[in-house]
Amino acid sequence: MATSNFVDFIKVYCRSGNGGGGSVHFIRTRLTPRGGPDGGNGGRGGHVILKGNNQLWTLLHLRYTKHLLAKDGGNGAGSMRTGSDADDIIIEVPLGTVVKDAETGLVEGEITEHGQLVIIMPGGRGGMGNDYFKTSMHRTPRFAQPGEEGKEGWKIFELKILADVGLVGFPNAGKSTLLSVVSAARPEVADYPFTTLRPNLGIVKYRDERSFVMADIPGIIEGAHEGKGLGLRFLRHIERNSVLLFMVPADAKSIRNEYDILLNELKQYNPELLDKSRVLAITKSDLLDDELLTQLKKEVPASIPSVFISSHTNTGLSKLKDLLWAELIKPLDK
């Protein structure tokens, strides 16, 4: 699929429907020419609703949607007839979609399960007809309640990829190559920075028919938390990953320094990301001889599980899967 077909951010104007007005009506028949009130209630205005769909992975289908406008509820009528409720607008979105108020930036809802419904703009309630207001002291109310107004405003839909393992590294660290080797995913792979411009997902098979989902996400650069490079677009997606796999190439000037820079970018963007489980993979280890490998092992931070790997020779990939699986099941063991 072309890179331009991945859409993870849209802004839409939403408006729910107004509630229908209650009816002012009195019974008038040949037998009861001066009957009491029988005005019915108004119907509810249409909601604007998001619905989770696990068959979607992008917001592309909403790319050219600028307005979501629900209809108003029907007015009440005589003979206690209630106005019809307006149809809801139901928009299907991929799992991991977050809804924000465009003006305040506050999160108003998120979709994490298939079939989940989130009302982002509730329709106005219908007004009560004059029958509702009759009492023993006031038997002929000549008024009814108007319908409640709907809501309106700009909303932002953001897609945050849901995956078990998210790949964290500088551009050209070997993330796409690793994903293509350990899963059936076929991301674009080339020897230049920012090959990956959109997230790619792959299912990694493990032992005993077990598996987990790995996400290859656009590469990070120093200053990403300030929006540099693909910055915020990258960082938004890793918020939903259970385990973060840091990837540093063996030919980096300093493995420890590169890891610290990556870690700092996550901290500056959202300190809560540091609470996630982490694994460090030193890639392109097929370029190392035994002496250099021994030397580089001394540079690896001792505070994080680590492994030297090569996607080209499959070196260390089994151990890497073991480390990732161990981190994934840690919450289940508690």
Domain of residue 12, CATH code: 2.70.210.12
Q: Are residues 98 and 192 in the same domain?
A: no
| pLDDT for 1 beyond 60 | no
* Predicted local distance difference test score (pLDDT) of residue 185: 56
CB 258, CB 265: distance < 8 Å:
no
Last residue of a domain, one of 159, 174, 207: 159
For residue 6, the model assigns a pLDDT of 59
Helix (H) or strand (E) holding 279, with range, is strand 277-283
Burial 48-58 (b: 16+ CB within 10 A, else e): bbbebbeebbb
**One domain for residues 155 and 170:** no
The pLDDT tens digits of the residues spanning 245-304 come to: 999 998 888 899 989 988 888 888 788 888 889 999 999 888 888 888 888 888 888 889
Give residue 92's pLDDT. Answer: 96
- 140 and 206 part of one domain: no
Number of domains in the chain: 2
The helix (H) or strand (E) run that includes residue 246 is strand 241-249
Kindly state whether residues 193 and 151 are assigned to the same domain: no
The pLDDT of residue 190? 40
Residues 144 and 213 in one domain: no
Q: Do 188 and 301 lie in a common domain? A: yes
Pair 96, 135 in one domain: yes
Residue 98: beta bridge partners? 110, 158
Residue 235 pLDDT: 66
Residue whose entry in the numeric block shows the structure tokens 């405003």: 153
Residues 35 and 126 in one domain: yes
Q: What is the pLDDT of residues 11-26, one digit of tens each?
A: 999 999 999 999 999 9
- CB atoms near residue 263 (< 10 Å): 18
Answer yes or no: do 135 and 218 share one domain. no
Residues of the domain holding 59: 1-159
Q: Render 11-73 in DSSP notation, one character per residue.
A: EEEEEPPPPPPPP--B---SS-TT--B-PPPPPPPPPEEEEE-TT---SGGGTT--EEEPPPP
Q: Same domain for 287 and 318?
A: yes
pTM for the model: 0.67
Residues 148 and 19 occupy one common structural domain: yes
**Whole-number Å distance between alpha carbons of 31 and 242:** 73
| CATH at 309 | 3.40.50.300
* The domain boundary residue, chosen from 159, 182, 206: 159
Q: Do 147 and 191 sit in the same domain of this protein?
A: no
Q: Virtual CA dihedral for 325, 310, 259, 166, nearest 10 degrees?
A: -40
Given 131, 159, 187, the domain boundary residue is 159
Residue 126 is encoded by which pair of tokens? 């219908």
